[in-house]
């Protein structure tokens, strides 16, 4: 059975920042990635940090219903494949519990239609 998908309300941004404010981490949806080369944040557009070096606005976020067990294989790849077949770009984020897929706002409706057509159900 395919997992249920939930659209998270609001607009999101993908940002490259210099520092991370603890206040930002209090938000319900904030994803942080840090490497030796950068500090990236995905957050609601209205909460983008002031010290952002670069940003890409206009993302919509979808959550794959979880929690997903680590022993499960092939959850994210088929969803990404459906979207790729429909020429819909994604930005994927994984957490301990589940996976999130972000698409550009201009492609969100097409993403929902493509996934529904492939047998995925959306939580209302």
DSSP state of 46: G
pTM above 0.95, yes or no: no
Q: What is the pLDDT of residues 29-64, one digit of tens each?
A: 999 999 999 999 999 999 999 889 999 999 999 998
- CA–CA separation, 87 vs 110, rounded Å? 10
User: Does residue 93 have a cis peptide bond before it, meaning omega lies within 30 degrees of 0?
Assistant: no
């Amino acid at each position: 059975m395919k997992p249920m998908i939930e659209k998270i309300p609001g607009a999101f941004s993908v940002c490259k920042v210099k520092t991370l404010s603890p206040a930002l981490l209090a938000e319900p949806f904030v994803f942080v990635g840090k490497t030796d080369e950068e500090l990236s944040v995905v957050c609601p557009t209205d909460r983008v940090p002031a010290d952002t070096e670069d940003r890409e606005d206009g993302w919509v976020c979808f959550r794959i219903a979880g929690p997903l067990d680590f022993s499960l294989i092939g959850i994210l790849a088929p969803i990404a494949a459906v979207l790729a077949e429909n020429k819909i770009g994604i930005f994927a984020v994984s957490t301990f519990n589940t996976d999130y897929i972000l698409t550009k706002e201009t492609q969100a409706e097409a993403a929902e239609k493509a996934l529904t057509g492939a047998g995925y159900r959306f939580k209302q």
